[in-house]
């Protein structure tokens, strides 16, 4: 009985070490080898549950608005760029009637430019700690106006007051604009807005 208790305590200590935050992969593998089959099953179930819980928390903080605009053009998405950091600058190309082109900087990395080459290129930079918390605008078959509102109270408009209005805010409190997606051709056909907490990956 004493031998069984000592073995159980050893398994419990190994399991606790395995589930500790920040454990390295080589160390985790060495702990796996020390577990009995029963404790290994428990450890794997615990890891699966922890992963599912983390995914559920992230899903509850993510929200989406859009697409605002028409269904023409090629799809684009800046999903991968959010890994570079928060939105720090935005370039918008406009003419008298439409949003022609769009480019966003994530951290220190600019996204690919989408849209056409006509019109004037305007650029705004966000201050440290500043985030976009609302986006409104106008559209019909194309995007005609964009207005970015920040948590520092800045109102940053681009384009013209023609078309159908939209106003987009995140579903969850304290989340911010993380990246954009949409459709583009020689103009910006449509835009989608993706909100979440800023996570340091």
DSSP state letter for 173: T
Look at the block and give the residue holding tokens 């993706």.
194
* Residues whose CB falls within 8 Å of the CB of residue 20, separated by 6 or more in sequence, listed in order: none
In the sheet that holds 155-159, the strands lie side by side as 155-159, 143-150, 132-139, 164-168
Look at the block and give the residue holding tokens 């859009």.
66
> pLDDT digit string (tens) for 140-172?
999 999 999 999 999 999 999 999 999 999 999
Mean pLDDT of 180-197: 99
Q: Where are the domains of the chain?
A: 2-60, 64-196
Q: What is the CATH number of domain 64-196?
A: 2.100.10.30
> pLDDT digit string (tens) for 58-71?
458 999 999 999 99
Q: Is the pTM of this model over 0.95?
A: no
> pLDDT digit string (tens) for 109-140?
999 999 999 999 999 999 999 999 999 999 99
> pLDDT digit string (tens) for 27-39?
555 554 665 666 5
């Amino acid at each position: 009985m004493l031998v069984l208790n000592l073995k159980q305590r050893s398994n419990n200590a190994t399991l606790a070490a395995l589930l500790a935050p920040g454990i390295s992969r080589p160390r985790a593998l060495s702990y796996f080898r020390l577990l009995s089959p029963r404790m290994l099953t428990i450890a794997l179930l615990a890891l699966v549950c922890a992963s599912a819980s983390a995914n559920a928390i992230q899903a509850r903080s993510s929200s989406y608005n859009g697409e605002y605009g028409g269904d023409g053009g090629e799809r684009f998405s800046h999903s991968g760029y959010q890994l570079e950091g928060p939105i720090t600058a935005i370039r918008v190309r406009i003419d008298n009637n439409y949003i022609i082109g769009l480019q966003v900087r994530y951290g220190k990395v600019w996204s690919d430019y989408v849209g056409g080459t006509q019109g004037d290129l305007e650029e705004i930079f966000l201050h440290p700690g500043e985030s976009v918390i609302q986006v409104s605008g106008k559209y019909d078959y194309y995007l005609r106006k964009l207005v970015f509102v920040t948590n520092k109270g800045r109102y940053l408009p681009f384009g013209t007051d023609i078309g159908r209005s939209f106003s987009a805010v995140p579903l969850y409190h304290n989340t911010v604009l993380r990246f954009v997606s949409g459709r583009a051709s020689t103009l910006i056909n449509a835009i989608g807005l993706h909100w979440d907490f800023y996570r340091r990956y």
